[in-house]
Amino acid sequence: MGNDFFGQIDPPQRLLMGPGPVNVHPRVLRAMAADMLGQFDPEMTAYMNETMALYRQVFMTDNRWTFLVDGTARAGIEAALVSLVEPGSKILIVRAGRFGLLLSEIAERIGAEICTLDLPWGEVASLEQIEEALRTHRPQVLACIHGDTSTTMAQPLDGVGALCRTYDVLSYVDATATLGGMPVKTDAWGIDVISAGLQKCMGGPPGSAPITISDRAAAHIMARRHVEAGIRSGDTDNGRGARIGSNYFDLAMIMEYWSERRLNHHTEATTMLYGAREAARVMLEEGLEARFARHKAGSTAMVAGLRALDLTVFGNDAHRMANVTGVWIPEGVDGEQVRQRMREDFGIEIGTAFGPLAGKIWRIGVMGYNARKQAVLQTLGALEACLAAEGYAARRGAGVDAALATCQHGLWQ
């Protein structure tokens, strides 16, 4: 220790197989070790423009407004909602898990009129249910989660954007847990605003929230510009005035900062931008289809292994996310004891659960850099040993063998 009160940061090595954060890709870590640039340095603004171009590909969109909100994924969610919704406006929220509840908590603070399409945890909404709710409530905005990690289910979004346009509704989707691991087809789905984070399938650290915004949503947001935006630009047309209830998360101002006008807002989080840019480069070099296939193969192997240990996988196979799997904690086994053994004896973290699923399921992520054969096999081997230590009679070796067998079927190279 010496004069150094607590010693250097030297975290133990962990294999992070929970629902996020996960281990960061080494190239992203290296990019984040680079020094600062001034925020208007042409090298820095070029990096910003490159980051916008990279994330257009990641989000599968031509949206001009595709950039980063500085903060964790929740910053992207809050920026989207506070910029789309105002006190008294009506928002329809699809709630089928913890993150759907988070959307309504944020909308409530904004003072929006909230209507909900509530589903039991583990279910997803059908297009018919969404249409009926739109017809009944006539909201201005629809908000939902793509992959809700609390339930491990993925909401199908094909047709949702078109439906919203028919009813003249702006749509928002939180794709934090799926971006980089499952297709997030912004333009094909016709979703107006999608936000995400880095610490799930993007293989980066928490702290940056990529976001993409359609032209029609951007027009809505710009019309609500805060008076400060007018002052900064010398523009006397201040739209509808001081309506956006946050300065930091005012997307209109952040957009002007990312535009050619470079109107100062906050200081771009330089190190996070380096990381986000590298995470996207890693993804695009791999190729979107190859990357989605790798996540799918990882989950397929994980599910095969869990089932071979006679464990029951949570939820409907048709809607399970390709990157995080819920598994029922067997009768008589203390879930926290198993997690502790996994961490202490093997250095592996798996996730617990929230709300109605707390203490009932574990959540095992196969995401980003950890969507690898070795990580899946190590996790299954360790889980088997920890279950056995807690008195569960798992078939020894069966989990790893079953996972390996899926690789031999060509699902995983």
Ligand X SMILES: *Cc1c(COP(=O)(O)O)cnc(C)c1O
Chosen residue from 69, 119, 145, 194 binding ligand X by CB under 6 A: 145
How far apart CA 85 and CA 322 sit, in angstroms, is 31
Whether the Cβ atoms of residue 59 and residue 186 lie closer than 8 Å to each other: yes
Structure tokens belonging to residue 8: 């250097």
Tell me which of 176, 212, 300, 370 binds ligand X, using CB under 6 A: 176
61 in contact with ligand X (CB under 6 A): no
The Cα–Cα gap between 127 and 274 comes to: 39
Q: Which of 58, 80, 114, 174 touches ligand X (CB under 6 A)?
A: 174
Q: With CB under 6 A as the contact rule, which of the stretches 70-78, 161-169, 278-286, 300-308 interacts with ligand X? A: 70-78
Least separation, in Å, of the C-beta of 75 and ligand X? 7
The phi, psi pair for 18, rounded to 5°, reads -95, -165
Residue 23 or 149: the one with the smaller Cβ distance to ligand X is 149
Least distance from ligand X to the Cβ atom of residue 368, Å? 12
Using the minimum distance from each CB to ligand X, give the nearer residue, 69 or 375: 69
| The Cα angle at residue 271 between residues 266 and 274, in degrees rounded to 5 | 110
Q: Are 58 and 368 spatial neighbours (Cβ–Cβ below 8 Å)?
A: no
With beta carbons less than 8 A apart as the criterion, state whether 128 and 158 touch.
no
The span from the CA of 76 to the CA of 73, in Å, is 5
Return the SS3 of 234: coil
Binding region for ligand X (CB under 6 A) out of 58-66, 172-180, 362-370, 382-390: 172-180
Nearest-approach distance from CB 148 to ligand X, in angstroms: 6
Identify the residue among 99, 274, 362, 412 touching ligand X (CB under 6 A): 99
Q: Helix, strand, coil: what percent of the chain each, to 5?
A: 45, 15, 40
Comparison of 19 and 399: residue with beta carbon closer to ligand X: 19
The reply to whether 155 sits near ligand X by the rule CB under 6 A is no
- List CB contacts of 5: < 8 A, sequence separation 6 or more: none
Identify whether the C-beta of residue 87 lies closer than 8 Å to the C-beta of residue 112: yes
Q: Which is nearer to ligand X, 145 or 255 (CB)?
A: 145
**To the nearest whole angstrom, how small is the minimum distance from the Cβ of residue 163 to ligand X?**
21
Number of residues that bind ligand X (CB under 6 A): 14
Q: Would you tell me which residues interact with ligand X (CB under 6 A)?
A: 20, 72-74, 99, 145, 148-149, 174, 176-177, 197, 200, 206
